[in-house]
Amino acid sequence: MNEEVLILKLKAEEYRALYQMNICTREEAKENIMPYINLINSKAKEIAKKYNQKPKTVNFNSYIR
Protein backbone atom coordinates (compact mmCIF):
# COMPACT_ATOMS: atom_id res chain seq x y z
CA MET A 1 0.00 0.00 0.00
CA ASN A 2 1.21 3.44 -0.72
CA GLU A 3 1.17 6.21 1.85
CA GLU A 4 -2.04 7.86 0.63
CA VAL A 5 -4.03 4.62 0.86
CA LEU A 6 -2.62 3.90 4.30
CA ILE A 7 -3.64 7.34 5.58
CA LEU A 8 -7.18 6.92 4.21
CA LYS A 9 -7.43 3.44 5.74
CA LEU A 10 -6.33 4.61 9.19
CA LYS A 11 -8.76 7.53 9.08
CA ALA A 12 -11.61 5.23 7.98
CA GLU A 13 -10.85 2.74 10.75
CA GLU A 14 -10.72 5.55 13.31
CA TYR A 15 -14.11 6.94 12.30
CA ARG A 16 -15.57 3.44 12.14
CA ALA A 17 -14.59 2.91 15.77
CA LEU A 18 -15.87 6.36 16.78
CA TYR A 19 -19.21 5.68 15.11
CA GLN A 20 -19.56 2.31 16.81
CA MET A 21 -18.93 3.97 20.19
CA ASN A 22 -21.52 6.71 19.37
CA ILE A 23 -18.91 9.46 19.61
CA CYS A 24 -19.52 10.84 16.11
CA THR A 25 -22.63 11.02 13.97
CA ARG A 26 -23.37 8.85 10.95
CA GLU A 27 -22.88 11.82 8.60
CA GLU A 28 -19.45 12.64 10.06
CA ALA A 29 -18.40 9.02 9.80
CA LYS A 30 -19.71 8.73 6.25
CA GLU A 31 -17.88 11.78 4.95
CA ASN A 32 -14.59 10.54 6.41
CA ILE A 33 -14.98 6.88 5.40
CA MET A 34 -16.33 7.27 1.84
CA PRO A 35 -13.01 8.37 0.23
CA TYR A 36 -11.46 5.07 1.36
CA ILE A 37 -14.47 3.01 0.23
CA ASN A 38 -14.42 4.70 -3.19
CA LEU A 39 -10.73 3.90 -3.54
CA ILE A 40 -11.32 0.25 -2.58
CA ASN A 41 -14.18 -0.06 -5.07
CA SER A 42 -12.21 1.47 -7.93
CA LYS A 43 -9.33 -0.94 -7.28
CA ALA A 44 -11.78 -3.86 -7.12
CA LYS A 45 -13.23 -2.85 -10.50
CA GLU A 46 -9.75 -2.71 -12.05
CA ILE A 47 -8.83 -6.16 -10.75
CA ALA A 48 -12.19 -7.67 -11.74
CA LYS A 49 -11.91 -6.27 -15.25
CA LYS A 50 -8.42 -7.72 -15.58
CA TYR A 51 -9.70 -11.22 -14.75
CA ASN A 52 -13.09 -10.83 -16.49
CA GLN A 53 -15.10 -11.12 -13.27
CA LYS A 54 -17.75 -9.06 -11.49
CA PRO A 55 -16.28 -6.73 -8.85
CA LYS A 56 -17.12 -7.31 -5.20
CA THR A 57 -17.78 -3.75 -4.03
CA VAL A 58 -18.06 -2.43 -0.48
CA ASN A 59 -20.78 -0.04 0.67
CA PHE A 60 -20.89 2.15 3.75
CA ASN A 61 -23.33 -0.04 5.70
CA SER A 62 -21.27 -3.18 5.27
CA TYR A 63 -18.03 -1.38 6.19
CA ILE A 64 -19.30 -0.01 9.50
CA ARG A 65 -20.63 -3.39 10.68
- The band of 16, judged by pLDDT with boundaries at 50, 70 and 90, is very high
pLDDT of residue 62: 96
Dihedral of CA 13/19/25/30: which sign?
positive
Question: Can you tell me the distance from the alpha carbon of 31 to that of 15, in angstroms, rounded to the nearest whole number?
Answer: 10
Dump pLDDT digits (tens) for 18-61.
999 999 999 999 999 999 999 999 999 999 999 999 999 999 99
pLDDT of residue 5: 94
pLDDT of residue 7 exceeding 90:
yes
pLDDT of residue 6: 96
